[in-house]
């Protein structure tokens, strides 16, 4: 088991042990009571920490995409209606994930919905928060770890610089995990969308099939299917583990964006453990809802509780203005 997967496993066990606390929105750690700096001071510190770091590990979670308009997963809002309106009207779904957890009697109708979901993320432009973050990382040695499946980071960076530990909407797998293979989902999804047109169902003959067993395929993602944890999955953990081990003696900044309370074990708590254990490590989290900083990290870390898109805009502007004055 790789270093980072071991950290995730440990925090998953902790999550199970203290599930009642986590379920209530709390955590089993003593938090700092240190008074936070002003917003302007926090932005300046964020910029300086990035400048001072030898390298940066970005942890991008759902809040980062939501801040840029990818907020259609959990609620029936304008974004959801824009992309999934015909299904919202027909079935009353309250967000993209709601449709994934419903019972579908017609597989062709289900695949119409799933193709819509995948096509929405596959074809989405790179969102503003990602572009601003990219600008701030210019010239830095960095690596990206993400729980997002929406392909935003791999539209910006080569796969060698990104670990997608919860899957990727660009790939199919066998729904029954009969094989360790994954294969392209982009072209089949585009073809399904063309065939569906204004309807809500695809031709049954277009339902993706596993080339090995003939059963249905499914997106290679965790959360609403039988997630394949094989070679491709292991490669994601090996990439992030290799990067951390290679840079463990350097001044490494763990930079976290948008971690919610459903999956703190994949980014947040491993970042805490690494920041605590690596002597030169630093930690900054940006979150629009949650202010969680363990007391043990109060001298090595900071949480900015504010709109993520605004923080990245302001930090990028501050960084650029500082460079102009130099």
Shared domain for 84 and 107, answered yes or no, is yes
pLDDT of residue 261: 87
Once rounded to an integer, what is the mean pLDDT over residues 3-13?
96
| Closest among 63, 72, 81, 59 to 8, alpha carbons compared | 59
Return the percentage of the chain with pLDDT > 70, whole number: 99
Residue 32 main-chain phi, psi, to 5 deg: -65, 145
- Do 54 and 134 share a domain, yes or no? yes
Residues 140 and 152 occupy one common structural domain: yes
Res. 14: pLDDT tops 90: yes
Average pLDDT over residues 26-54: 97
**Do 287 and 143 reside in the same domain of the chain?**
yes
Q: Is residue 72 part of a domain?
A: no
Residue 73 counted as domain residue = no
Number of domains in the chain: 2
Domain assignment of residue 248, yes or no:
yes
> Percent of the chain having pLDDT more than 90?
94
The enclosing H or E element of 136 equals helix 128-136
Query: Where is the domain boundary, 157, 187, 221?
Result: 221
Asked if residues 217 and 210 have their Cβ atoms less than 8 Å apart, the reply is yes
Q: What is the mean pLDDT of residues 43-47?
A: 98
- 280 in any annotated domain: yes
- Number of Cβ within 10 Å of residue 109's Cβ equals 18
pLDDT for position 25: 86
Domain containing residue 297: CATH number: 3.40.50.1220
Q: How many CB atoms lie within 10 A of CB 205?
A: 8
Mean pLDDT along residues 209-215 = 98
User: Do 96 and 203 belong to one domain?
Assistant: yes
Give the domain extent around 250.
Answer: 3-67+126-166+229-325
Same domain, 157 and 42: yes
Q: What is the mean pLDDT of residues 37-64?
A: 98
Residue where the block lists tokens 């001298």: 299
On whether the pTM is more than 0.85, the answer is: yes
| Mean pLDDT, residues 17-40 | 94
pLDDT for position 326 = 57
Same domain flag for 253 and 142: yes
Domain for residue 274, yes or no? yes
- pLDDT exceeds cutoff 80 at 74: yes
Is 57 contained in some domain?
Answer: yes
- Residue 94 pLDDT > 60: yes
Q: 152 and 34, same structural domain?
A: yes
189, 221, 253 - which closes a domain: 221
pLDDT at position 224? 82
Same domain, 83 and 9: no
Domain edge (last residue) among 204, 221, 238: 221
Q: Are 270 and 138 within one domain? A: yes
- Shared domain for 259 and 308, answered yes or no, is yes
Based on the fold, state whether residues 285 and 176 are members of the same structural domain: no
Q: For residue 93, is it within any domain?
A: yes
- Averaged pLDDT score across all residues of the chain: 96
Exposure class string for 11-48: b at 16+ Cβ within 10 A, else e: beebbeeeeeebeeeebebebbeeeeeeeeebbbebbe
Residue 147 located in a structural domain: yes
Average pLDDT over residues 137-141: 97
Mean pLDDT of the region 213-219: 98
Given a cut of 90, whether residue 112 has pLDDT beyond it is: yes
- Tens-digit pLDDT profile for residues 262-318: 789 999 999 999 999 999 999 999 999 999 999 999 999 999 999 999 999 999 999
Q: Span 188-199, mean pLDDT?
A: 97
């Amino acid at each position: 088991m790789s270093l980072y997967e071991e950290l995730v496993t440990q925090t998953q066990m902790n999550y199970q042990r203290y599930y009642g606390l986590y379920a209530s929105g709390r955590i089993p750690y003593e938090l700092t009571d240190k008074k936070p700096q002003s917003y302007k001071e926090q932005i300046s510190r964020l910029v300086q920490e990035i400048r001072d770091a030898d390298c940066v590990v970005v942890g991008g979670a759902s809040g980062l995409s939501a801040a840029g308009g990818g907020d259609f997963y959990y609620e029936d809002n304008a974004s959801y209606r824009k992309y999934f309106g015909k299904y919202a009207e027909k079935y009353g779904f309250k967000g993209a994930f709601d449709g994934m957890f419903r019972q579908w009697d017609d597989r062709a109708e289900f695949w119409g919905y799933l193709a819509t979901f995948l096509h929405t993320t596959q074809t989405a432009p790179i969102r503003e928060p990602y572009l601003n973050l990219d600008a701030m990382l210019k010239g830095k040695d960095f690596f990206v770890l993400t729980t997002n499946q929406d392909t935003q980071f791999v539209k910006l960076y080569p796969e060698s610089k990104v670990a997608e530990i919860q899957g990727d909407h660009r790939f199919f797998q066998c729904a029954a995990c009969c094989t360790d293979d994954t294969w392209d989902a982009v072209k089949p999804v585009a073809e399904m969308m063309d065939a569906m047109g204004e309807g809500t169902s695809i031709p049954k003959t277009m339902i993706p099939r596993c080339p090995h067993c003939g059963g249905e395929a499914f997106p290679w993602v965790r959360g609403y299917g039988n997630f394949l944890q094989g070679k491709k999955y292991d490669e994601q953990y090996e990439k992030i583990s290799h990067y951390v081990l290679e840079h463990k003696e350097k001044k490494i900044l763990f930079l976290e964006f948008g971690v919610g309370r459903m999956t703190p074990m994949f980014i947040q708590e491993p970042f805490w453990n690494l920041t605590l254990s690596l002597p030169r490590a630093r930690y900054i989290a940006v979150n629009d809802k949650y202010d969680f900083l363990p007391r043990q990290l109060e001298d090595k870390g900071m949480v900015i509780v504010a709109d993520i898109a605004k923080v990245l805009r302001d930090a990028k502007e501050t960084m650029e203005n500082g460079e102009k004055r130099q």
